[in-house]
Amino acid sequence: MGEVSSHSAPGPYMLVRSPKVVAFKSSIVPALILWYYNANLPILSVRVALAITIWINLFQLSCHPQKNSGTHHGGRDLNPLEISKLAHSLVNSDRDSREQAEASLIECGTEALPVLEELMRATDVSRKVIVRGLIQRIQLNARLIRSHETSKHQKVLQQVETLIRALTVEPEATRQHLMLDLRKTLITSGDSRMLPVLLHGLKDCDSNVRLQAIHAIGALESEGALSALLHSLTHQDANVRYYAISGLRRYASNTDYDCLIRCSLQKLASRPEETDYDVRMNAAYCCVELGSEVDSGIFIDALRRDDVNHAIAVRALAKLSRKDAIGLIIGRLRVSPLDVDYWCGKALHDLTGYEYGTDWRKWAEWYENNKKSLPRQLE
């Protein structure tokens, strides 16, 4: 927020040449060319063509104002050598050349400051006033632009403070609704400036508030959100740890952090001090999806237990092509609730190529007819 913006501020903050003026001048050129090459046409046709061309350019200009391309602010993007040549034109050229060089350096913005400050030490006293004045003007431009950017974010900062205050003093039901609404908003907007509110939500004494907060963090795309997800892998709430893993899965396609995420998930999947089986299994499943090595025994053991998420286990075994677990999956399908039996049927279809949906009887019949052709089944 404190950095200099890459675009010049509008209105009173525009101390350099307006890009709209430049754009308007450039839009006249094709119009004049059109006039010239159509001189042999009736004068009315030429006027209409010219009017349409100018109107289209002005309409585009009003709807999509051209933005400056300078690294810090201004419309010029010059290399250091070109900036140095312009700077020396301030002290070695005639008045018109100096004014042109000054205008160009102002457009270069703060990138011109190191060259100008070096020139201050090398030039004579009579020229130092010109160079110093130009430095001050560029610095003023930068401060005004920073001020403009700060004012744009002021409302967001006030929102953040208000929401954090509400999460501190409001009753439980209000905090739950507040965090749920914020999560829905961030899924659409992805505004990472709300991250401080979500981090505060992770500390809430209510589990539902914490759950909505970690879901919302997982929907953001920023380095701050990624850091929060990694930190949440050791949160005291198992649900927060579980959904932090799911959030990290989304970031794994980013090659800048791919290794970091893979290593973090592998460590969690094999961490003996992790007391929640589903958390470990979710980490292991994400490793399977990412193609990382993981002990598949965690999924086999899950099918023998009644207190874990069997949907993750059967999906992982299908991805790993563990046909030796077909009997276990059919056995689990027989007693699975509605939210799990779909995944059991899908896993069996992926492993066998047959389609019996969630009908465990048909799967059991198929198994009896085909078990001799299957690998030795796990008990």
**Which residue range(s) make up the domain with 73?**
11-147
The mean per-residue pLDDT over the stretch 337-346 comes to 88
Neighbours of 245 (CB within 10 A): 28
Q: Is residue 46 part of a domain?
A: yes
Arithmetic mean of pLDDT over the chain? 78
Q: Is residue 262 part of a domain?
A: no
pLDDT band with cut points at 50, 70 and 90 for residue 210 = very high
For the cut 70, the answer to whether the pLDDT of residue 268 exceeds it is: yes
* Segment 27-38, tens digit of pLDDT: 444 444 444 444
pLDDT band with cut points at 50, 70 and 90 for residue 148 = low
Q: What CA–CA distance (Å, rounded) separates 56 from 51?
A: 9
Asked whether 310 and 344 are in contact (CB, 8 A), the reply is: yes
For the cut 70, the answer to whether the pLDDT of residue 285 exceeds it is: yes
* Segment 168-198, tens digit of pLDDT: 888 999 999 999 999 988 888 888 888 999 9
For the cut 60, the answer to whether the pLDDT of residue 314 exceeds it is: yes
Q: What CA–CA distance (Å, rounded) separates 293 from 287?
A: 7
Question: Which of 90, 124, 147 is the last residue before a domain boundary?
Answer: 147
Number of residues that make up the chain: 379
Asked whether 290 and 321 are in contact (CB, 8 A), the reply is: no
48 compared with 357, residue with greater pLDDT:
357
Q: Is residue 85 part of a domain?
A: yes
pLDDT of residue 152: 61
Comparing 22-26, 120-124, 144-148, the range with the smallest average pLDDT is 22-26
- Which percentage of the chain shows pLDDT scores above 90? 37
DSSP state of 376: P
Residue at token pair 């470990």? 280
pLDDT band with cut points at 50, 70 and 90 for residue 132 = confident
Question: Which of 147, 174, 195 is the last residue before a domain boundary?
Answer: 147
- CA 190-193-195 angle, to 5 degrees, is 85
List alpha helices for 170-206, DSSP H. 172-189, 195-201
The mean per-residue pLDDT over the stretch 224-243 comes to 93
The residue type of 156 is V
* Segment 66-90, tens digit of pLDDT: 444 333 444 456 777 887 888 777 7
Nearest one of 368, 375, 366, 335 to 348, comparing CA atoms:
366
- For the chain, strand residue ranges (E) read none
For the cut 60, the answer to whether the pLDDT of residue 162 exceeds it is: yes
Report the largest interatomic distance among the alpha carbons of the chain, rounded to a whole angstrom: 101
Q: What CA–CA distance (Å, rounded) separates 202 from 218?
A: 12
Q: Is residue 177 part of a domain?
A: no
pLDDT of residue 61: 40
Q: Is residue 237 part of a domain?
A: no
pLDDT band with cut points at 50, 70 and 90 for residue 153 = low
Q: Is residue 189 part of a domain?
A: no
Q: How many domains does the chain have?
A: 2
Question: Which of 147, 169, 185 is the last residue before a domain boundary?
Answer: 147
Q: Is residue 282 part of a domain?
A: no
Comparing 140-154, 188-202, 226-240, 340-354, the range with the smallest average pLDDT is 140-154
Please tell me the pTM assigned to this model. 0.60
pLDDT of residue 272: 84
Q: Is residue 274 part of a domain?
A: no
pLDDT band with cut points at 50, 70 and 90 for residue 221 = confident
